[in-house]
Structure 1
Amino acid sequence: MAQTPTFDKSASPRTAWLGWVYFAGIMMITVGFFQAIAGLVALFDDGYYLVGQSGLVVSVDYTAWGFVHLILGAVAFGAGFAVMTGKTWGRTVGIILAVASAVVNMAFIAAYPLWATLIIAMDVIIIYALAVHGREAAE
């Protein structure tokens, strides 16, 4: 005789929005990778960017910008994996990093407008997905 499956009615059902959370995790990994590339370019080739240091919103040399982008990228890369495994701290760190990344890229926009705008757009999507639907991954 086959047994009827029992369902836990207290558990909330997963919705299709869970895909947004996984998408945000993948985007965080991608943004982390992009940030690291921008950081490495700033560290190894100061002449790559068309705007001089005085043309940036925050007037610091590209070595400092390189380290900022590199550190943001490494932490975002790691937090992206935490988001995909449903860790609450990953969501929190992810939202904070996405906001920090958007602010840093807004200040860096004069040096590389298209790249910075692309990263800011990705950050907004990450913030939305994690803030609105992030709880579903933990369940």
Structure 2
Amino acid sequence: MATRGAGRMRTGWVGWVYFAAAVLLVIGVIQIVNGVIAFAHSGTVLTPAGTEIRVSYGTIGWSYLITGAVLAATGVGLLSGRTWARVVAVVLAVISVLANIAFFAAYPLWSAVAIVLNAVVIYALVAHGKEMAPR
């Protein structure tokens, strides 16, 4: 039985918050690496039809770097129990659900799995995210 002033008990749902944080952190690092790689590549791209297109990867590189930094910072923020990170993570999960609904016809199995995982993560973050707060 909990006593007054005692620390908050952590439930098994905290594992899903850790899962969300780990996924965000890993994807963020991958995006940052993709951004660095994009800066290293610029020049001509050949289309399947053989047409040459001059491409500058600078904008793509910056978008990957910024997205990666936001994702990684959100993952670290979730691990440290920050409220802003929970809000950003929920927004990102909702965007992921909407994107997977849009591509459901093309990838039904993967979309269904992603939608379910996102729904569980959203629930864990909204209902049990406060359990991650520092004691």
- What TM-score results when the alignment is normalised by the length of structure 2? 0.61
Q: Contact (CA 8 Å) 1:32, 1:73: kept in 2 or not?
A: yes
Q: For residue 33 of structure 2, what is the aligned residue in structure 1?
A: 37
From 15, 18, 37, the counterpart of 2:14: 18
Count of residue correspondences:
110
Displacement of 1:96: 3.3
- Aligned pair in 2 of structure 1 residues 124, 43: CA closer, same or farther (>3 Å)? farther
Structure 1 position 137 matched with structure 2 position 117: no
- The letter of the residue matching 1:138 is K
Q: Contact (CA 8 Å) 2:86, 2:129: kept in 1 or not?
A: no
- The letter of the residue matching 2:87 is T
Q: Percent identity between the aligned chains?
A: 31
Q: For residue 87 of structure 1, what is the aligned residue in structure 2?
A: 82
Q: Contact (CA 8 Å) 1:84, 1:137: kept in 2 or not?
A: no
Displacement of 1:86: 1.7
- The letter of the residue matching 1:68 is S
- What TM-score results when the alignment is normalised by the length of structure 1? 0.59
Q: Could you list the runs of 5+ residues in structure 1 that have no partner in the other structure?
A: 53-59, 104-120
Q: Return the structure number with greater strand share.
A: 2
Displacement of 1:122: 7.6
RMSD: 3.9
SS in 1 for 2:30: helix
Q: CA–CA distance in 1 between the matches of 2:38 and 2:115?
A: 21
Q: For residue 52 of structure 2, what is the aligned residue in structure 1?
A: none
- Aligned pair in 2 of structure 1 residues 17, 65: CA closer, same or farther (>3 Å)? same
Q: For residue 65 of structure 1, what is the aligned residue in structure 2?
A: 60
